[in-house]
Structure 1
Amino acid sequence: MALLFTVDTVEDLSPHMRRFTFSGDAVGAYIATGQFPNIKIFLPHPDGTYDVPELDDPTSGTETVLRSRPELHARVRTYTVRRYDREKNTLSIDFVLHGDEGIASAWAMRARPGTTLGIAGGGGRHIGQGDHYLIAGDETGLPGIGDILDNLPADATGTAYIEVAGDSGRIDLTKPEGIEVVWLSRDGAPGGTTTLLVDAVKSHELKPNTFAWASAESAQVIAIRKNLRARGVDRKSMLVIGYWRRGLSENGYAKAANHDRDLKEYDDHEHDHDHGVGAAMREGAAHLAGRLRRRRRT
């Protein structure tokens, strides 16, 4: 499914995080697919055009169009659905703001109510069940952390470590009473250049039946996974994914390392629900087909 969402409202959660809430029939159609927690966005050119006339026509075979045009793949990004409302046909996505460094941030800096955004499928794995939760992420993982905290059981216990550039990066989060949120400030240091998040995980006391979730820069998630495995956390009791790598675009990172996934963390799951255009693009294009190649080897 490929759709055009329309921005309804814009809210600055912090100087570094902006929430866009989309509304309309296209949003309702997406919600009905159940493709959560992730969503694939298809970004327009700076002038707002997409070069895909078939977009927003469910009968057009847009998936085939995108799959056959590799030049479009660089305009696809993966985000977390922060929240949605089936009755109101609304859906929110939080964007990290870092100027014009990337096309997604550039879009978020300029988008206003009425601006459109292409949607190219979605999916992903939800956090698993545990008696205790260890959650860790930087700004890019913050929307995912917010979604997790919103949906954990009311009696859940654990700790969420969140690394941000500075105190101004903190945002309000709804959470179970038994979850402690610990903010880690880089004091202005660039993302991915400190060991704050890794050190926090290393010093965290693991309790029996802990489920660990982490998303941040590549080097950080590799170190976090290594530490958790060394301390006996089973692969099926963790979900650790790199959201970005310094010096690479999302597509470049996917090609180089498939976001540092360990597919054994997915063995207890039938698949990771990545459907629609996003899946078709990766499976149809060699430079985005990391997941398909691994499936063929297993």
Structure 2
Amino acid sequence: MSTVTASPFRFFDLVVAAAERLSPTMIRVVFAGPALARMESAGRDQRIKLFFPHPGQDAPVMPNDDGTNWYPAWQALDPEVRGIMRTYTTRSLTRDPDRLVVDFAVHGEGGPGSRWALRAAPGDRLCVLAPVVAENVAYDFRPPAGTDWMLVTADETALPAVAGILAALPVGVPVRAWIEVAYAGDRLALPTPADAHVTWLVRGTDAPVPEAVAAAELPGGTPYAWVAGESATVKAVRRHLVRERGFDRGAVTFTGYWRRGTTEDQLLASAENA
């Protein structure tokens, strides 16, 4: 007799409780709602799906599904009407009161997430697909046993994930991190119990991430690398770490958060047609 495993993800209808500008590029939005009591997070680089309304809608149009069969149900809706899906990171999930915090990297009116975050105000409605179990498949930061030190690279789109990763690390673990941002004012505090050395790189002023990492003197011992941001940059860093630095391929987690010149809608369409 076959056993059907329930999906660890569910839809959550939430409202904005507060929004604030953290830096020239980052906007923090705090969400509330009674359903948040069921939401869980692994911390670190926990991915969630946000669904934005189209212009003229006061809330995203979503499928009649609780999240157990969410993707085909969402895909079956009219693209001109259904909630606009984008992937973000849980910055924090807190209790008493239940609050979900998401940090948005905004770049003008270029995408639906940026447009929405720039105007976010208390009472605005959004739908989120998120886990209901803390241990789930939607996070990637998983250092192997025996790791001596960690290397992290990112741009501002992955900055919320870096913040979650650093906050969750054990006391004293050595970390070398390079983070590229659009403006000097985007350098945010990153509290961590780890022994972390963070190098901030301002785009157009400092060396890009691949060059900065290539020029660095790295610690000895067994490393683990987490590399995220623009797809071509991620590939360049991974190639350098594996080929020139001798990192084990299995000890390098790499994720393209975005691709220059390509929207997430185009990436979704490519995946669906593959």
**Is the counterpart of residue 252 in structure 1 residue 261 in structure 2?**
no
Counterpart CA distance in 2 for 1:84 and 1:59 is: 19
Residue 220 of structure 2 aligns with an amino acid whose one-letter code is: K
CA 1:236/1:171 → structure 2, altered by over 3 Å: closer, same or farther? same
Kept in 2, the 8 Å contact 1:6–1:22? The answer is yes
2:223 counterpart of 1:215: no
Once residues 256 and 238 of structure 2 are traced to their aligned partners in structure 1, the CA distance between those partners, rounded to angstroms, is: 10
Counterpart check, 1:69 vs 2:77: yes
Q: Please state how far the C-alpha of 1:117 moved relative to its aligned partner.
A: 1.3
Deviating beyond 4 angstroms after TM superposition, the runs of 4 or more aligned structure 1 residues are 32-36, 59-64
Contact 1:39–1:119 (8 Å) recurs in 2: yes
**1:169-184 map, 5 Å:** 169-176=186-193, 178-184=195-201
Mark the CA change 1:51 to 1:196 in structure 2 (over 3 Å): closer, same or farther.
Answer: same
SS at match of 2:150: strand
Amino acid in structure 2 at the alignment position of 1:149 = L
**CA deviation digits over 1:41-60, x for unaligned, max 9?**
11111223323373xx7499
Match of 1:126 in 2: 141
- Contact 1:166 / 1:187 at 8 angstroms: preserved in 2? no
Q: Secondary structure at the match of 2:22?
A: strand
Q: CA separation of 1:134/1:33 partners in 2, compared to 1, >3 Å: closer, same or farther?
A: closer
- Once structures 1 and 2 are overlaid, which stretch shifts more, 77-86 or 201-210? 201-210
Residue number in structure 2 paired with 1:202 = 214
Q: Name the structure 2 match of 1:13.
A: 22
Tell me which amino acid in the other structure corresponds to 2:170. Answer: P
1:6/1:180 CA distance change after superposition, 3 Å: same
CA deviation profile, 1:174-222 (whole Å, cap 9, x unmatched): 123510111101247xxxxx86101122223253211101111111011
User: Are positions 1:138 and 2:155 aligned together?
Assistant: yes
When you count helix as a share of all residues, which structure comes out higher? 1
Q: Which runs of 5+ in 1 are unaligned?
A: 189-193, 259-285, 291-298
- The answer as to whether partners of 2:45 and 2:161 remain within 8 angstroms in 1 is no
Would you say 1:155 and 2:168 are equivalent positions?
Answer: no
- Measured in 1, the distance between the counterparts of 2:253 and 2:23 equals 27
Q: State TM-score, norm by structure 1.
A: 0.76
Aligned-pair CA distance for 1:65: 2.8
**How far is the alpha carbon of 1:87 from its aligned partner?**
4.2
TM-score, structure 2 normalization: 0.82
Q: Which amino acid is the alignment partner of residue 184 of structure 2?
A: D
**Matched residue type, 2:241:** L
* Contact 1:2-1:63 at 8 Å conserved across structures: no
Residues 60 and 83 in structure 2, CA contact (< 8 A), matched pair in contact too: no
CA 25–126 in structure 1, closer or farther in 2 if over 3 Å, else same: farther
Q: Shift of residue 120 of structure 1?
A: 2.6
User: How many Å separate the matches in 2 of 1:239 and 1:126?
Assistant: 7
Which residue number in structure 2 is paired with residue 4 of structure 1? 13
Counterpart for residue 116 of structure 1: 125
Instruction: Give yes or no for the alignment of 1:226 onto 2:235.
Output: no
Query: Is 1:195–1:220's contact at 8 Å kept on the other side of the alignment?
Result: no
Quote the Cα distance in structure 2 between the aligned partners of 1:178 and 1:206.
12
- The worse-fitting range, judged by mean Cα deviation, of 148-157 and 34-43 is 34-43
Q: Is the alpha carbon distance of 1:67 and 1:49 closer, same or farther for their aligned partners in structure 2, counting shifts above 3 Å? A: same
What is the alpha-carbon distance in structure 2 between the residues aligned to residue 185 and residue 255 of structure 1? 32
Structure 2 runs not aligned, ≥5 long: 1-9, 132-137
Helix, strand or coil at the partner of 1:109: helix
Task: Write the letter of the residue equivalent to 1:238.
Answer: V
Q: Deviations over 1:75-133 (max 9, x none)?
A: 21111101111443211110011111000000001111111111134623234252111
| RMSD of equivalent CA atoms | 2.8
Residue-pair matches, total: 253
Q: 2:62 matched to which residue of 1?
A: 52
Question: In structure 2, do the counterparts of structure 1 residues 59 and 76 end up closer, same or farther at CA, with 3 Å as the change threshold?
Answer: closer
SS of residue matched to 1:31: coil
Match of 1:243, SS state, is strand
SS at match of 1:14: coil
Aligned residue runs from structure 1 range 271-282, under 5 A: none
Change (3 A) 1:224 1:9: same
**How high is the sequence identity, in percent, across the aligned residues?**
33
Residue 5 of structure 2 is matched in structure 1 by none
